[in-house]
Amino acid sequence: MTLPASAPMGPASLASARKGGARGPLLRTCAAVFMLVATLPTGVPFTATPAAAQSVTPSVTPSATPLASTDPLAYAGGEPDRLPTLAPVWGAHGMVVSAQKLASEAGERILAQGGNAADAAVAMGYALAVVYPAAGNLGGGGFMLLRPPGQKTVFLDFREKAPLAARANMYLDSKGQVIPDLSVLGWKAVAVPGTVAGLETVRQRWGHLSRQADMEPAIELARNGFVLETGDVELLHTATSGFEKDPYARTIFLRPDGTPLQAGDRLVQTHLAHTLEQIAHGGTDAFYRGPIAQELVRVSRLNGGILQNEDFARYTPRELPPLSCTYRGFLVETAPPPSAGGVALCEMLEILSGYDMHALGLHTAPALQREIEAMRHAYSDRRNLGDPAFVHNPISTCSTRPISML
């Protein structure tokens, strides 16, 4: 978000959700991750028929348990082997899915205007920066896995990059000990954002609509605001103490009297709307070489950060070959390192392929036990993965079956 020159700023970001879609707080201004997949099967035109496009947002049953009322990640109650089966939702010509209903509706709107999957992904990316910035935010970055019809799958890495002034010991004290929270809170934790460069790359290479058209839903949401629901405020409340300490964040994410926002309040982000408008008119130059970058560098230096103008001017996304593996005869194409998720997914699928999951049943306790344990092992192994530009990733040790880079 862009700040007025006189506004004090500190390390805070809004992490909001809707209808119970909370996924946890993030108190780091430029470090949220937007992760979105836009795919279409081979042979299907890279456009969607407007009238039949649908938007889908996951929903979570509200919880009555005390733990869940204070922890958005807590299980909502009930027996795990009694969870209802989720009915499939079908889109005849197109579908958009995100973690926030308003962002999904933005993607649906773009499809109805004649945009394609790339346009919808870009629109939802910017909309998530307004209504769900923990999963998509202008100060963060992300990955995108995209398969144009009749072409190879593309993986785009537009994650944040370390500033040029970053050093291996920048989070250690004079004795070589880690300084608590320095790598996650404050301006020294802020990396060079990649979201704008990534989304603009996708729009230019594969989109049909103009940048202004793809960004208009997000601009409207920021300028006019949106009414917070229970899921939004539950997640916001986990970050209240951080907002209270930040002179700028508290003017947006707390009420005028300093109390937390409540369901029914309208969250208006006028500075964010102004930033989005600048990007809509000026593209990546507006963000990486114009007043937005200059303001971020200024406030970073003012608060002990290490961002430089050159960090922004040199940022570029990179295209990498996707990762592939198989599961019960199906080809799985997923994210390669520096994302650890794709390797973990392939490892989990290989573990689960040793069990008759159909016989165990959907959402049953035995099935969930095996899924959870597979996730635990995969998550442990992912600790050894990193950016292939700097480290060797032992992908083969995570599976006894081939995991290949396409």
Q: Which domain CATH number covers 353?
A: 1.10.246.130
pLDDT given at position 90? 86
pTM over 0.75: yes
Instruction: Indicate the number of domains in the chain.
Output: 2
Rounded to a whole number of angstroms, the distance between the first and last alpha carbons of the chain is 37
The mean of the pLDDT values for the chain is 82
* Whole-angstrom distance, CA of residue 190 vs CA of residue 202: 24
The two structure tokens encoding residue 250: 């508290």
pLDDT in tens, 232-270: 888 888 889 988 988 888 999 999 999 999 999 999 999
- 161 and 52 share one domain: yes
Quickly state the pLDDT bin for 79 (edges 50, 70, 90).
low
Residue 203 has pLDDT above 50, yes or no: yes
Same domain, 350 and 376: yes
Structural domain contains residue 9? no
pLDDT tens readout for residues 383-404: 888 888 888 888 877 766 666 6
162 lies in the same domain as 264: yes
Residue 21, domain member (yes or no): no
Do 336 and 220 reside in the same domain of the chain?
no
One domain for residues 372 and 284: no
Whether residue 62 has pLDDT greater than 70: no
Side-chain half-sphere exposure of 218, counting CA atoms within 13 A: 36
Of 291, 319, 347, the position where a domain reaches its end is 319
Within-domain flag for 376: yes
CA–CA gap between residue 32 and residue 105 (Å, rounded): 22
Residue 227 shares a structural domain with residue 255: yes
- Secondary structure class of 260 (helix, strand, coil): strand
Residue after which a domain boundary falls, among 278, 300, 319: 319
Is residue 106 domain-shared with residue 159, that is, in the same domain?
yes
Is the confidence at residue 43, as pLDDT, over 50? Answer: no
Q: Higher pLDDT residue, 179 or 56?
A: 179
**CA–CA separation, 360 and 80 (whole Å):** 13
Q: How far apart are CA 2 and CA 384, in angstroms?
A: 36
CA 214 to CA 376: how far, in whole Å? 39
Q: Are residues 286 and 223 in the same domain?
A: yes
Q: Is residue 27 part of a domain?
A: no
Domain boundary among 286, 319, 352: 319
For residue 17, tell me if it sits in a domain.
Answer: no
Q: Which residues pair with 350 in a beta bridge?
A: none
Average pLDDT over residues 356-385: 93
The distance of Cα 321 from the centroid of its chain, to the nearest Å, equals: 21
Q: Are residues 95 and 129 in the same domain?
A: yes
Are 370 and 390 contained in the same domain? yes
Tell me if 68 is assigned to some domain.
yes
Residue 12 covered by a domain: no
- Find the domain containing 357 and state its range: 322-405
Residues 138 and 257 in one domain: yes
